[in-house]
Chains A and B, each alone.
Chain A
């Protein structure tokens, strides 16, 4: 039976099929509109400034990025050596270098994580962290060589290290990016409304470096995770393992209501309540000279706190589902071996449901990145990124909301910028969603 015949025979099925095609239509529509206007945007700028160019500047090799690159190359080499069939080179180094006392290991790890916060160069900080992680993986492999065990060869670290080596090399040897794409993705200044005679057209004072918006967005999103992950996962563990049924019957609907409150109400809450609280801390910090500018009511910390509260129910409910999906035999087996309840929870249940929890965190991150109204009201409208989190900044979504709030003629450069920013945002959240859903479906298959 041909396709056409089948369509005409099963009329109801055909109609329903056409209905479900609307989903494809919507997705194509979103991508098409965003892409179309973004291409117009880039070609408009490219007419004036070219598409992409950068200047070489080899003096950057001696900077922090160059050092980070060196560290990464060493780490890559060691990683490769450790997976060789006969690790003669590594065996010549005494074992206590690879596996010292576990207190030392913990200390080094803590230092490696903490230096991320205070390191001026993000790439150097992350490469130090990577070196420590590679050191630990080598330690594990060396231990297995001696005690026996299955040595799994995976290329994950090789790929990540290679990618970061490319990035650091690129960062070290090039300094000035320009042209439409170079400006958008690599520059830091976001001034889409220059002081031009004609508001509609481009002029030299305009600058489209989206990084200042992106960095603030990430600042807010990761700040939200810092707040929401411990609370949300703790809440999930408590609900699934500890809470008496009567309390759980109160807490779960409360979380649902918390999830159902509109984001603009959260924004209002942040504006009138959290902002002034944060300012008090900020004034204390300013008086002690920890920050260089006086704090404002609108700031990224404010946004991070409120977005953290918003994504808390998502993390809590998804993590709870993940914990409940763990088979009961694991829990009972652990208890039967004499582990206490907290040991069972921490060492068995969390380990078993880790990928489900991670999926919930990824999806919550995507939600935090795409959050609009609360962030618009809480973070402010100054599109300048600073490491000082007490002064106003602007996220990508807030830029879109603020920009379209005024009267916006179609086809003007300001109108086009929101689509370029929107496409970038869409791409980020789509990647996060794909990753999260993939992890989640893998977890569902496992149990």
Chain B
């Protein structure tokens, strides 16, 4: 008997041991996945942000006497044929004397022939030339007749090789950002008063709308009969905010389209005003309805019920408030993102402006192309289609298209959109072709997401709508779509964030790495410059460069891209949470 007890005890011990070992090893397997993510983020962030690998760029020029300067170029910005490529070299001379401060720019064209030089003479009137030709690997001098020292700064173009002494330093390029709240460096306000007011009003109204208080409601009920007027006033304020942002400084610019586009914060401010008007209108409508029902106005729970579409409006206004919090009182200034194009020779002077705008245009075109068609297809498949062969075929194709490698979509785009002749549309390697290709790629993902969202709408919604005699389109439009909309939007945002990071199709379509201008979205139609690039492509080409300095730039661009993606995904998560909460209630 004792032996059996002993045996049982031993086996129990063994089983406990295996239990513990097994569960621990499983936990470790799960956590290794987390470790990978940590290592990945650390590896990207460490060289760029933590170690602070910043480029100190210095000119080769030596400081001869205090008044004379010598310059020497090793990397001319010319190609084999002697043509200028990239930005020209521009040097800025600045000095302060008794007549005030002077600043003069001189453009230097480096030409193929050696030993040709033009010297610059500086006197109290300024610099004698604005543009000079200098041969390759030739020194030239700047002679100063001034009594004060002149600072020399290169403001554009490739920076020459640095020597051992390495001074005077030309510029320091770092990936730095500046965030100003309300006031910038010169103590000037970064907002227009009306915009800030709109933002504040929206904030107050959202608070009133979410937690209606008795005294506030009784105050509002006094202006209830003027609700159309209030609504109008807010819209006039919106128009005023928009119109104040236009500035016509130059008459020659009147024909330029850009002058007629409002700035981002003005547009947001106008939207805030419009949203304020709508919220207040809804609120007053709700109060009026309560009065008609002969109810007390302080029954806030009834008020909430009586405000129709409350959730949707609140969601939108909260998102608007969040967005305008970033853009109206804040001035975000990251030169890497918003100012610099790629520099040909100097990694640290490069930026992703062209790629950033390229990404935005490609995404916009892809959205315009793909969202209406794929949401329509999802509605057809879920609401209209009978279970016949065509439906089965379409469903199978959608499922399998979602798994087709992205590069195959790129080849589809290359043959259909880019190529001229045959079935090709002949758009060339342009933003438009890239956007269409990306739109086609996003379609199956959006259809699948949309179907899932439509499927999760309860049957009772449809049946009760049919029961009161709605047609199928009315049921879909008025009852099913509104409840499925957040789900569809989540799917759409996720699809967009997926195609935002895709580089493979665009490599095939023909994105280029070196762009020194903003890409034009409709260049394929009106014959502009076709070249474009996007952030993933920029990362790809920078990673393929041999110099390690470019890898730092690739890391910075990667972090930018990941931040953009996380921002988009978090919008999707917020929408999903909102949707879930509404389903529960």
Q: Check if A22 sits within 8 Å of B443, measured CB to CB.
A: yes
Q: Does A30 contact B (CB under 8 A)?
A: yes
B27 neighbours in A (Cβ, 8 Å): 238, 242-243
Q: Check if A429 sits within 8 Å of B405, measured CB to CB.
A: yes
Q: Does A444 contact B (CB under 8 A)?
A: no
Q: Does A422 contact B (CB under 8 A)?
A: yes
Q: Say yes or no: A425-B415 contact (C-beta < 8 A), given A234-B29, A401-B508.
A: no
CA of A425 to CA of B504, assembled, Å: 14
Q: Does B63 contact A (CB under 8 A)?
A: no
Question: Which A residues, 6 to 42, have Cβ-Cβ distances below 8 Å to chain B?
Answer: 10, 12-13, 15-17, 19-24, 26-27, 29-30, 32-34, 36-37
B404 neighbours in A (Cβ, 8 Å): 30, 370, 426, 429-430, 433
Q: Check if B561 sits within 8 Å of A262, measured CB to CB.
A: yes
Q: Does B381 contact A (CB under 8 A)?
A: yes
A274-303 interface code vs B (CB 8 A; 1 in, 0 out): 000000000000000000000000000000
Q: Does A369 contact B (CB under 8 A)?
A: yes
Q: Check if A13 sits within 8 Å of B472, measured CB to CB.
A: yes
Q: Does B566 contact A (CB under 8 A)?
A: yes
Binds B, one of A159-167, A186-194, A249-257, A328-336: A249-257
Most chain A beta-carbon neighbours within 10 Å: one of B18, B384, B396? B384
Q: Check if B381 sits within 8 Å of A265, measured CB to CB.
A: no
Q: Check if A23 sits within 8 Å of B504, measured CB to CB.
A: no
Most chain B beta-carbon neighbours within 10 Å: one of A269, A309, A433, A436? A269
Q: Does A116 contact B (CB under 8 A)?
A: no
Q: Does A49 contact B (CB under 8 A)?
A: no
Q: Check if A268 sits within 8 Å of B554, measured CB to CB.
A: yes
Q: Check if A260 sits within 8 Å of B380, measured CB to CB.
A: no
Question: Which B residues, 515 to 552, have Cβ-Cβ distances below 8 Å to chain A?
Answer: 536-537, 539-540, 543-544, 551
Q: Does A366 contact B (CB under 8 A)?
A: yes
Q: Which one of A12, A268, A342, A363 contacts B23 once the chains associate, using CB atoms below 8 Å?
A: A342
CA of A234 to CA of B27, assembled, Å: 8
CA of A243 to CA of B34, assembled, Å: 14
Q: Does B33 contact A (CB under 8 A)?
A: yes
Q: Which one of B44, B397, B540, B554 contacts A23 once the chains associate, using CB atoms below 8 Å?
A: B397
Q: Does A361 contact B (CB under 8 A)?
A: no
Binds A, one of B35-43, B108-116, B165-173: B35-43
Q: Say yes or no: A340-B19 contact (C-beta < 8 A), given A37-B415, A261-B562.
A: yes
B558 neighbours in A (Cβ, 8 Å): 264-265, 268
CA of A32 to CA of B415, assembled, Å: 10
Q: Say yes or no: A27-B397 contact (C-beta < 8 A), given A13-B384, A254-B34.
A: yes
Q: Check if A20 sits within 8 Å of B26, measured CB to CB.
A: no
Q: Check if B562 sits within 8 Å of A23, measured CB to CB.
A: no
Q: Does A442 contact B (CB under 8 A)?
A: no
Q: Does A397 contact B (CB under 8 A)?
A: yes
Nearest-CB residue, chain A, relative to B380 = A16
Q: Check if A397 sits within 8 Å of B377, measured CB to CB.
A: no
Binds B, one of A72-80, A168-176, A371-379: A371-379
Q: Check if A273 sits within 8 Å of B380, measured CB to CB.
A: no
Q: Check if A430 sits within 8 Å of B400, measured CB to CB.
A: yes
CA of A113 to CA of B418, assembled, Å: 48
Q: Check if B401 sits within 8 Å of A312, measured CB to CB.
A: no
Q: Does B376 contact A (CB under 8 A)?
A: yes
Most chain A beta-carbon neighbours within 10 Å: one of B15, B39, B407, B414? B407
Distance in angstroms from B424 CB to nearest chain A CB is 8
Q: Does B403 contact A (CB under 8 A)?
A: yes
Distance in angstroms from A112 CB to nearest chain B CB is 26
Q: Which one of B397, B401, B536 contacts A264 once the chains associate, using CB atoms below 8 Å?
A: B536
Q: Which one of A20, A241, A313, A366 contacts B380 once the chains associate, using CB atoms below 8 Å?
A: A20
Most chain A beta-carbon neighbours within 10 Å: one of B22, B379, B497, B498? B22
Nearest-CB residue, chain B, relative to A346 = B22
Q: Check if A260 sits within 8 Å of B565, measured CB to CB.
A: yes
Q: Check if A238 sits within 8 Å of B26, measured CB to CB.
A: yes
Q: Does A263 contact B (CB under 8 A)?
A: yes
Distance in angstroms from B465 CB to nearest chain A CB is 15
Q: Say yes or no: A23-B377 contact (C-beta < 8 A), given A242-B27, A260-B497, A262-B503.
A: yes
Q: Check if A258 sits within 8 Å of B561, measured CB to CB.
A: no
Nearest-CB residue, chain A, relative to B441 = A26
Q: Say yes or no: A26-B405 contact (C-beta < 8 A), given A20-B394, A373-B503, A437-B399.
A: no
CA of A269 to CA of B409, assembled, Å: 25
Distance in angstroms from B387 CB to nearest chain A CB is 14
Q: Does B293 contact A (CB under 8 A)?
A: no
CA of A363 to CA of B397, assembled, Å: 16
CA of A214 to CA of B464, assembled, Å: 56
B381 neighbours in A (Cβ, 8 Å): 20
Q: Check if A231 sits within 8 Å of B407, measured CB to CB.
A: no
A404 neighbours in B (Cβ, 8 Å): 410, 414, 507-508, 510
Q: Check if A400 sits within 8 Å of B508, measured CB to CB.
A: yes
A24 neighbours in B (Cβ, 8 Å): 393-394, 397
CA of A261 to CA of B25, assembled, Å: 27
Q: Which one of A29, A309, A400 contacts B412 once the chains associate, using CB atoms below 8 Å?
A: A29
A209 neighbours in B (Cβ, 8 Å): none
CA of A238 to CA of B15, assembled, Å: 19
Q: Does A111 contact B (CB under 8 A)?
A: no
Q: Check if A234 sits within 8 Å of B26, measured CB to CB.
A: yes
Q: Does B502 contact A (CB under 8 A)?
A: yes
Q: Which B residues form the contact surface with A (CB < 8 A)?
A: 15, 18-19, 22-23, 25-27, 29-30, 32-34, 36-37, 39-40, 43-44, 372-374, 376-377, 379-381, 384-385, 393-394, 396-401, 403-412, 414-416, 419-421, 423, 440, 443-444, 447, 472-473, 476, 497-498, 500-504, 507-508, 510, 536-537, 539-540, 543-544, 551, 554-555, 558, 561-562, 565-566, 569
Question: Can you report 26 A-B residue pairs in the complex whose CB atoms are below 8 A from each other?
Answer: A13-B384, A15-B376, A26-B443, A30-B404, A30-B408, A34-B408, A235-B30, A241-B26, A242-B26, A262-B500, A262-B501, A262-B536, A263-B502, A264-B503, A264-B537, A264-B543, A265-B539, A272-B543, A272-B555, A340-B18, A342-B23, A372-B503, A400-B508, A429-B403, A434-B400, A437-B400
Q: Rank and list the top 10 A-B pairs by shortest CB-CB distance, nearest first.
A: A262-B501, A370-B405, A234-B29, A19-B376, A342-B22, A238-B30, A372-B504, A16-B380, A33-B415, A20-B377
Q: Which A residues form the contact surface with B (CB < 8 A)?
A: 10, 12-13, 15-17, 19-24, 26-27, 29-30, 32-34, 36-37, 230-232, 234-235, 237-239, 241-243, 251, 254-258, 260-269, 271-273, 309, 312-313, 316, 340-342, 345-346, 363, 366-367, 369-373, 376-377, 397, 400-401, 404-405, 410, 418-419, 422, 425-426, 429-430, 432-434, 436-437
